[in-house]
Structure 1
């Protein structure tokens, strides 16, 4: 699976959206490593939450051109950037400006991708008001990385909604940090009738990253 081109992105873009980094490429590598399984799924709908630059959902769209590929982001600039990335790579992605999976029909998603805001922060940082009406994103960029206590605020919210998001054959690839307590996340998923395993991991300077593969029990 080829990494999408993103040479069209500018310094101005990276001031407003999360720049592709080691965690981005780890998630891409995990998807590529699991293509044999994903080919058996033959997804009808793929969704990336918090698409940022758009390279991950664009890569999936290129691999599964018959699937409907959607992305969500609260950041309007990220939605625009994701669309430009898909067009640059001759892919088909429809960005939706919303929070997590709001406005997405229940139990629709066959492949769900999420590189969440996982950095451990104070609740004060997380409690800033999201400025949905602004065309600039200075007030919203923090939500691309700030995760609250244990970096789990958004992750736990997704887990509690997951049953209404995934289709009966749906699979989630979730990127987490060691500080997010991956084993606790796996246990929380189990209580919600999901099975999860550490599919891939990578140590980089200052971070130990994991990809969890999550499916229904």
Structure 2
């Protein structure tokens, strides 16, 4: 699984969207490690929520050539930049400017990728009530990319509430979390929602400890 080229992106682009970093590459590594599983389930629709630069969904689009690859982001610049990343890497994705999965058909997603804003912040910094304001500044767009509110899980909790409605029967999700997000608590929440979970991959990086959570329906094997 090749890491997509991002040499078309400029310093100005990275004032608008999150620049790929060690969390991004851990997620890419996890998807590569589970590539045989992903090919076996033959996903019809793959969705990356909060695509940023588009590097993750582009990598998957190059591998899963029979899959419709979609990306959502609340940041309109991210939707544009992600499509540029796909074109630079000779593949195609579709982008939708929306909040999380709000514009998607119920029970349609076979493969969901989510690297959420996971940094614990004050609710003032989180700016939750203004996320759909189209007049946001560049600085606000970057805050959206990392500010997670209390315990860094405000956006995670919002997605979990929508997960049963959006995932197909065979659907699987890979989600990146920080140790401070309390992954075990999130796994318990998912269990109560009738999802199975496992810590698929983990890595210590300077100043952080990261996990990749794999999530699938209890009834699917």
- Give the secondary-structure state (helix, strand or coil) at the position aligned to 1:139: helix
- Paired with 1:194 and 1:164, the residues of 2 have a C-alpha distance of 12
Quote the offset at 1:124 in angstroms. 1.4
For residues 1-217 of structure 1, what are the structure 2 equivalents within 5 Å?
1-127=1-127, 129-130=130-131, 132-134=133-135, 136-217=137-218
- Paired with 1:94 and 1:3, the residues of 2 have a C-alpha distance of 19
Unaligned runs of 5+ in 2: none
Unaligned runs of 5+ in 1: none
- Paired with 2:79 and 2:138, the residues of 1 have a C-alpha distance of 12
Whether the 8 Å CA contact 1:130–1:140 is kept in 2: the answer is no
- Paired with 2:198 and 2:176, the residues of 1 have a C-alpha distance of 12
Quote the offset at 1:126 in angstroms. 1.5
- Paired with 1:127 and 1:59, the residues of 2 have a C-alpha distance of 31
- Paired with 1:43 and 1:137, the residues of 2 have a C-alpha distance of 35
- Give the secondary-structure state (helix, strand or coil) at the position aligned to 1:56: helix
TM-score (norm 2): 0.95
Quote the offset at 1:165 in angstroms. 1.0
Whether the 8 Å CA contact 1:69–1:94 is kept in 2: the answer is yes
- Give the secondary-structure state (helix, strand or coil) at the position aligned to 1:11: coil
RMSD: 1.1
Of 13-22 and 125-134, more deviation after overlay is shown by: 125-134
- Paired with 1:126 and 1:187, the residues of 2 have a C-alpha distance of 25
Whether the 8 Å CA contact 1:109–1:166 is kept in 2: the answer is yes
- Paired with 2:140 and 2:24, the residues of 1 have a C-alpha distance of 23
Of 139-148 and 162-171, more deviation after overlay is shown by: 139-148
Query: Cα 1:197–1:168, aligned 2, differ >3 Å: closer, same or farther?
Result: same
Query: Cα 1:135–1:147, aligned 2, differ >3 Å: closer, same or farther?
Result: closer
Quote the offset at 1:65 in angstroms. 1.1
Runs of 4+ in 1 over 4 A off after TM superposition: none
Query: 1:108-132, CA deviations, whole angstroms, 9 ceiling, x for partnerless residues?
Result: 0110000000001011111352354
Whether the 8 Å CA contact 2:45–2:110 is kept in 1: the answer is yes
